Structure 1
Amino acid sequence: MHPEIDTPALVIDLDTVRANVDEMARTAARHGVKLRPHVKTHKMPELARMQLDAGATGVTCAKLGEAEIMADAGIDDILLAFPIWGEPKLRRLAALRERARVRVSLDSPDVAAGLARLGGTPVEVLVEVDTGQHRLGRPPGRPTADLVAEIAAIPGIDVAGLLTLAGHAYHSRTERELAETARREGTDLIATAELCARDGIELREISVGCTPTARHVAGVAGVTEIRPGTYIFNDTAMMRLGVATEQTTAARVLTTVVGRPTAERVVLDAGTKSLTSDGSGSPGWIRAAGLPHLRMDFLNEEHGVALLDPESPAELPVGTRLQLIPSHACSVVNLFDHAYGVENGQVTKELRVAARGAVR
């Protein structure tokens, strides 16, 4: 299993990536919505370009650092889905706007007032709405409509639309619950936009959709844009929610068995510094591809400790290589400087994780 690669290593199956990218692009096209994938998942301009070539209209970034790296690669239509605050960031945003179309999401007049000081053409903003995650944003309806009116009154600001992330969908226990969360994600924003229109503010964009909800909410009438990210790689969280299978997981951590202290215990050379502790301890949080009888028990910084079912036909002696499907692909990618791209089962290229650590 890729003996030329030292472990632990991030391995990306590019054939699976292309299939995932094409499938989501077809979903967006079928429903007549724009696709603006979130690049925080892969942090690689090459993969962002693949998404754009497949039909995406632009990219979503979490932080200015990511956006700057994407712009360096020639990507010129960017949504910064994060409030921009403070003079250092405002200076960087001003420079970024000189070479790309940049929209910014926010949920406060204070942040909008800072953006207004940039001058030049009005800054396009999307007002974030809390549709249930309880992170940023006011509730849908009148609370957000009033906020939109307050922000729209600030000279130098152009309120382009509404944005939400239904992160609470990750806690869905059934397909029906997931579909209903997605439907509400879309209809809550559309109803809020209708209130804004009655207030005299016409909004052009209704931007929604994490990977779990994207395929459902894309079909809600009035939605204009979906922003899934994890779909390009998928992970065990997506598998649990029923929106991915082991076959559609593209990013895996290649690891080596370095210890077999007991017949049941398997010690690997990948710990939290390669896999993150996201989802730690929940059933199936990290899975070994093709090895259903192996269960991850716990991680230390550099050790992964798994338990092997006594009835397993696999022996897994020291030196055995495994591919681990992570619990959260986005966090895992940010732990590696580069990844190995695999096509037709062969390593064909190295991919630099160009925006690794771009948290500012």
Structure 2
Amino acid sequence: MTVPYETIDTPALIVDLDRVRANVEEMAAVAARHGVALRPHVKTHKMPELATAQLAAGAAGITCAKLGEAEVMADAGCADILLAYPLWGEPKLERLRALRERARVRVSLDSVEVAEQLGRVAGRAPIEVFVEVDTGLGRLGRPPGRPTAELAGAIEKVPGVRVAGLLTHAGHAYRTTTSEELRRVAEREVTDLVETAGLCGGGLEISVGSTPTARHAAAVPGVTEIRPGTYVFNDATMIRLGVATEATAAARILATVVARPASDRFVVDAGTKCLAADGRPEDIVVAGRPELGMRFLSEEHGVGRCPADGGPEIGERLELIPNHVCPVSNLFDHAHGVRGGAPAGELAVAARGRVR
């Protein structure tokens, strides 16, 4: 029995650094080819080393979900940050004030109330904001068109705030089932914002996100910036959507088979505390082993299925490609970098747990 990465104890988050480099360079090339800025979302990896690599490959800046992430990345030298989340409360406003002293920080929002809070800490330089638009996800933002244009006009009147652009996240693209449907979502994402920007008087930046739509959206006239995140690692969902393959999936959970309680069942030492509880366990990909699959996860156990006349032995190691890699990164203090099938050092998940 061969033992991959035998010096790494399991369960472990392993990151293939060669695959990461290829993924980073490919998306940078997409942005460059279409003349748009690339601002990757670092919530996927939460690792300053990888953010630095993305910037070195041509990214214009980074996107963060929370102030805590932004603070970690600013400490690592990231100087241009979009905080794609509305801020509320005195503690966060004071941290934003401090963060702006060492980095350019722009913030997304979808209300006058949040804009008024931001304006109070602007100081001499107005805070640049992006007005979030709901292009179909049903999370944040008003609908495109007149509702958003009216909101943007009201926000522009708030002292200490300047509307720099419009922003959306087409998370509903994850629910598409065909490449043509995915392309339509991406194109609609951009055209909705471009038309809305026209109602606002023009001159606004158009920032769109999501790994599934990024390659399509970058090619639509009017977009100025794409904000994919998952592409750096990819995951089983990206494979299902056809925008990644097993070969481009750079982050995996290395797990050990610890039991074979039935001829058609195996158990690994990785459950929801490693793979997260996001999505269907049966969609998890067992890399290089198409005859294997996962049935369900409990906290510490991953229960898999295998052919009754074969399957992994106790002690065998498997690489599991998670459904959604972003919360997986948040479950580990560090990742094991690998190159050419050999360990290549650890990477601290420095922004892990920075949820405020």
Q: What TM-score do the two structures reach when normalised by structure 2?
A: 0.98
Separation in 2 of the partners of 1:280 and 1:335? 18
| Partner residue in 1 for 2:138 | 134
Once the two structures are TM-superposed, the CA of residue 311 in structure 1 deviates from its matched residue by 5.5
| Partner residue in 2 for 1:218 | 218
Quick one: which of 95, 107, 111 aligns to 1:108?
Answer: 111
Separation in 1 of the partners of 2:171 and 2:74? 27
CA contact (8 A) 1:209 1:218 kept: no
Amino acid paired to 1:196: C
Once the two structures are superposed, what CA deviation does each residue of 1:213-254 show, in whole Å capped at 9, x if it has no partner?
A: 000000110100000000000000000000000000000000
Amino acid paired to 1:246: E
Once the two structures are TM-superposed, the CA of residue 163 in structure 1 deviates from its matched residue by 0.1
Amino acid paired to 1:194: G
| Residues paired across the two proteins, number | 352
Once the two structures are TM-superposed, the CA of residue 68 in structure 1 deviates from its matched residue by 0.2
Q: What TM-score do the two structures reach when normalised by structure 1?
A: 0.97
| Partner residue in 2 for 1:351 | 347
Separation in 2 of the partners of 1:72 and 1:110? 30
Separation in 1 of the partners of 2:254 and 2:124? 49
Pairing of 1:125-204 with structure 2 (within 5 A): 125-197=129-201, 202-204=202-204
Quick one: which of 15, 23, 26 aligns to 2:26?
Answer: 23
| Partner residue in 2 for 1:295 | 293
CA contact (8 A) 2:263 2:307 kept: no
Once the two structures are superposed, what CA deviation does each residue of 1:128-165 show, in whole Å capped at 9, x if it has no partner?
A: 00000000000000000000000001111110000000
Pairing of 1:1-360 with structure 2 (within 5 A): 1-118=4-121, 119-197=123-201, 202-281=202-281, 283=282, 285-310=283-308, 315-360=311-356
CA contact (8 A) 1:159 1:203 kept: no
Unaligned runs of 5+ in 1: none
Separation in 2 of the partners of 1:258 and 1:21? 35
Unaligned runs of 5+ in 2: none
Separation in 1 of the partners of 2:158 and 2:312? 64
1:71–1:350 CA distance, 2 compared to 1 (3 A): same
Alpha-carbon RMSD: 0.8
Amino acid paired to 1:104: V
CA contact (8 A) 2:263 2:309 kept: no
Once the two structures are superposed, what CA deviation does each residue of 1:315-343 show, in whole Å capped at 9, x if it has no partner?
A: 31110000000001101010000000011
CA contact (8 A) 1:235 1:329 kept: yes
Amino acid paired to 1:323: E
CA contact (8 A) 2:197 2:204 kept: no
4+ residue segments displaced more than 6 Å: none
Amino acid paired to 2:285: R
Amino acid paired to 2:189: E
Separation in 1 of the partners of 2:147 and 2:241? 31
Separation in 2 of the partners of 1:342 and 1:355? 21
Separation in 2 of the partners of 1:114 and 1:120? 15
Once the two structures are TM-superposed, the CA of residue 209 in structure 1 deviates from its matched residue by 2.2
CA contact (8 A) 1:166 1:181 kept: yes
Question: Percent identity between the aligned chains?
Answer: 66
Once the two structures are TM-superposed, the CA of residue 344 in structure 1 deviates from its matched residue by 1.5
Amino acid paired to 1:28: A
CA contact (8 A) 2:40 2:228 kept: yes
Q: Matched residue of 1:164: which SS?
A: strand
Once the two structures are TM-superposed, the CA of residue 203 in structure 1 deviates from its matched residue by 3.5
